[in-house]
Amino acid sequence: MDQIRIIGGSPLHGVVEVGGAKNAALPILAASLLGGGECIIDHVPQVRDVITMTKLLALLGVEVQAEGERVMLEASNVQSIEAPYDLVKTMRASILALGPLLTRLGEAKVSLPGGCAIGTRPVNLHLKGLAMMGAEVRVEHGYIHAKASRLKGARIDLDFPTVTGTENLIMAACLAKGTTSLHHVAREPEIADLCAFLVKRGAKISGAGTDTITIEGVSELQGAKHWVMPDRVEAGTFVMAGAITGGDLTVKGCVTDHLGNLFTKIQEMGVKLAEHAEGVRVRRTAPLQAVEVKTLPYPGFPTDLQAQMMALMSVAEGTSVMTETIFEGRFLHVPELQRMGASIEVDGPHAVVKGISALTGAPVMASDLRASAGLVLAGLAAEGETTISRVYHLDRGYERLEEKLGAVGGQIQRIREVA
């Protein structure tokens, strides 16, 4: 398995560019299943989860062609209804095939994703919503098996604003008979991006980006071209990389509106941010200051930036508190940060971080996608050498991270496993 080796202590300088959003690309690619006609998707990040999604789509009968950041899809001949365990277990977002397959073909069998490192992550709200639209949903032999000759529009109030749950129900409603109104849904910008693509395909959707979305079902969708929005989690990670190393870094393609909460906290920590035509410039000359942060659904502080923020808190002056409200068990990076000298105490959903003057490099292990990014930031700031193993977690969602950070002065490289 590949490792990432970092020699800490070099401030980052220059311009680093954000790629397309993984969490927007995945539902948009899944939405190709909704009908024939060529879909051309640009600015698709070349990350492992995207490759897994294209493999799944090909298995279901979609003709998929990828050329760099462009993916072309043609789903006229989709016949298979089954997303198998082998693929689903490597990527929970495979659940995004459920809504489109069911509404297009009248039946879908998608493996239950099962447990994952950051918590139980159930999909009950996806299933409840589809059942309210008239689907007969059974869970048997490890699979979700849903059937409906044609879904019917319904009013659905979500108990919690689940992101992929909202996306599954929107896609299902596009081809349902009648109007569906979804209430208390997730407001993440990736959902608005998915809706923009669906509207180009001929779907009738209003309210995207708000907590109430209305979809008037149509009988079919056509092909469309779409450019995927920039990745706000990658952008936020770069902003924090500039902040933790005390550099002067411009993050190109960073959409300020998508990261309001992070920016408030980063500025509270003493980091200077300035918006430019090119992107956001991040500078720090004084020590970082402690802050209190709570993860929340958008527009709150994203759980996907929690581990990275804890790396910053580890070296901030004073005592910081991180409260994780989205996923229980999403503190797997804590023992690894402790190996680097961080002083962190976890009590249920709270982590109390007493800032120290410097972390020290150590061999550490990545446990999930965003935890890995937290360890990269810690390594960039630490004294001496850090090696991160199990970087396949990082490769699921970050595109050439070591190259991008290396190009702006980070001493970071991938050590490839010799086969």
Residues serving a catalytic function are 116
Query: What is the three-class DSSP state of 99?
Result: helix
Nearer CB in complex with ligand UD1: 29/334: 29
Task: Show the site string, 204-243: x = touches ligand UD1 by CB under 6 A, - = not.
Answer: ----------------------------------------
> Are 282 and 271 spatial neighbours (Cβ–Cβ below 8 Å)?
yes
Is residue 382 close enough to count as binding ligand UD1 by CB under 6 A? no
- Nearer Cβ to ligand UD1 (248/395): 395
Nearer to ligand UD1, 263 or 301 (CB): 301
User: What is the rounded distance in angstroms from the CA atom of residue 56 to the CA atom of residue 44?
Assistant: 16
Query: Is 148 one of the binding residues for ligand UD1 (CB under 6 A)?
Result: no
Contact 383, 214 (CB under 8 A): no
In whole angstroms, the minimum distance from the beta carbon of 166 to ligand UD1 comes to: 8
Range in contact with ligand UD1 (rule: CB under 6 A) among 162-170, 268-276, 344-352, 410-418? 162-170
HSE at residue 9, side-chain half, CA atoms within 13 A, is: 9
Question: What are the phi and psi torsion angles at 267 (to 5°)?
Answer: -70, -40
* 123 touching ligand UD1, by CB under 6 A: yes
What are the helix (H) ranges across 276-323? 306-314
Which one, 5 or 92, has the nearer CB to ligand UD1? Answer: 92
| Residue 238 or 327 with smaller CB distance to ligand UD1 | 327
Residue 145 engages ligand UD1 in binding (rule: CB under 6 A): no
Nearest approach in angstroms of CB 354 to ligand UD1 is 27
Question: Which member of 93, 254, 401, 412 binds ligand UD1 (CB under 6 A)?
Answer: 93
End-to-end CA distance of the chain: 9
Contact between 53 and ligand UD1 (CB under 6 A)?
Answer: no
Q: Is 119 exposed, middle or buried (0-12, 13-18, 19+ CB in 10 A)?
A: middle
198 lines the binding site for ligand UD1 (CB under 6 A): no
Q: Are 24 and 193 in contact, with CB atoms under 8 Å apart? A: yes
For position 162 contacting ligand UD1 by CB under 6 A, the verdict is: yes
Q: Does 403 bind ligand UD1 (CB under 6 A)?
A: no
246 vs 263, which CB is nearer to ligand UD1? 263
The answer to whether 52 contacts ligand UD1 (rule: CB under 6 A) is: no
CA R_g for the chain: 21
Residue 316 corresponds to which tokens in the numbers above?
Answer: 């901030």
Q: Does residue number 254 form part of the binding site for ligand UD1 (CB under 6 A)?
A: no
Q: Cβ of residue 74: shortest distance to ligand UD1, in angstroms?
A: 23
Instruction: Pick one of 10, 23, 308, 367: the residue that binds ligand UD1 (CB under 6 A).
Output: 23
Backbone angles phi, psi at 62, to 5 degrees: -80, 135
According to CB under 6 A, which one of 73, 326, 382, 388 is a site residue for ligand UD1? 326
Dihedral angle, C-alpha 197, 203, 207, 211, nearest 10 °: -80
Does residue 327 bind ligand UD1 (CB under 6 A)?
A: yes
Which CB sits closer to ligand UD1, 165 or 236? 165
- Which 3 state secondary structure label does DSSP give 140? strand
**Exposed, middle or buried, 289 (CB in 10 Å: 0-12/13-18/19+)?**
middle
Please report, for residues 129, 289, 388, the alpha-carbon distance to residue 31 in angstroms, rounded to integers and kept in the order given: 18, 43, 35
- Give the integer Cα–Cα distance in Å for 198 and 203: 5
Q: Is the bond preceding 297 in cis, omega lying within 30 degrees of 0?
A: no
Is residue 122 close enough to count as binding ligand UD1 by CB under 6 A? yes
Give the binding site for ligand UD1 (CB under 6 A): 23, 26, 92-93, 121-126, 160, 162-165, 186, 303-304, 326-327
